């Protein structure tokens, strides 16, 4: 509550928590729901920062975009 100026929409200056997927999950759900589990997360944004997690090396890389 009271954070409308910081969150709630994609606008310059607001925080963004979101993911970028390899495929359109809504289209895959319509055409071949069994393949939803094949969709990969390409990038994750938390608090407006790109956060990449590498499972094989268990390293977290954070890039801050201005």
Q: pLDDT tens digits, residue range 9-30? A: 777 877 778 888 889 999 999 9
Q: What is the mean pLDDT of residues 3-11?
A: 73
Ramachandran region, residue 47 (left: φ > 0; alpha: ψ -120 to 50; beta: rest)? left
Q: Reduced to 3 states, what is the DSSP secondary structure of residue 65?
A: coil
pTM: 0.60
Task: Supply the DSSP symbol for 13.
Answer: T
The residue among 20, 10, 12, 16 whose CA lies nearest residue 42 is: 20
Contact 26, 19 (CB under 8 A): no
The residue among 24, 14, 23 whose CA lies nearest residue 45 is: 14
Residue 61, pLDDT score:
53
| Average pLDDT value for the chain | 77
């Amino acid at each position: 509550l009271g954070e409308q100026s910081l969150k709630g929409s994609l606008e310059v200056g607001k925080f963004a928590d979101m993911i970028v997927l390899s495929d359109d999950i809504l289209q895959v759900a319509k055409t071949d729901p069994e393949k939803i589990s094949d969709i990969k997360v390409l990038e994750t944004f938390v608090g407006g920062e790109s956060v990449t997690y590498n499972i094989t090396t268990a390293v977290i890389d954070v890039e801050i975009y201005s």
